[in-house]
Amino acid sequence: QVQLVESGGGSVQAGGSLRLSCTGRNYTYFTNGWFRQTPGNEREGVAAIYTGRGATYYAESVKGRFTISQDLAKNTVYLQLNSLTPEDTAMYYCAAGVIAGSPLHRNEYKYWGQGTQVTVSS
């Protein structure tokens, strides 16, 4: 069983930054992703990284503002959120698994963290 734990969420003003972390067992053949969800909406893929290759992918809405990275020695994946707007307010989840299709599609992932809330005011 793969256990994932997110941290780093909180409340910030528009224009501020946060760094989210996801820690858990990882494998070279895994992909790690970040998703977000608001009430009544579908869970949305934000960013993903292929563990072994290091290739990254981003949703159009966050390109240039968010950065996904990994520290293999710490078994940790990060999501740096910059230039935050109220539109970014959501519960953010990390996910992991063997991906056959798009790394930004939620149904591709088997393992999920519990979520961490990001709230952007103004």
Number of CB atoms found within 10 A of residue 121's CB:
11
Percentage of the chain modeled with pLDDT above 90 = 91
Angstrom CA distances, 67 to 6, 8, 63, 82, stand at 16, 14, 8, 8
- The predicted-structure confidence for 12-63, as pLDDT tens digits, reads as follows 999 999 999 999 987 889 999 999 999 999 999 999 999 998 999 999 999 9
Q: Please tell me the predicted confidence (pLDDT) of residue 13.
A: 98
Q: Is pLDDT of 1 > 80?
A: no
- What is the spatial distance between Cα 118 and Cα 19, in angstroms, rounded to a whole number? 10
- What is the spatial distance between Cα 55 and Cα 57, in angstroms, rounded to a whole number? 7
Q: Please tell me the predicted confidence (pLDDT) of residue 42.
A: 96
Angstrom CA distances, 7 to 22, 52, 82, 102, 122, stand at 7, 23, 16, 25, 23
- The predicted-structure confidence for 90-116, as pLDDT tens digits, reads as follows 999 999 999 999 999 999 999 999 999
Beta pairing partners, 57: 48
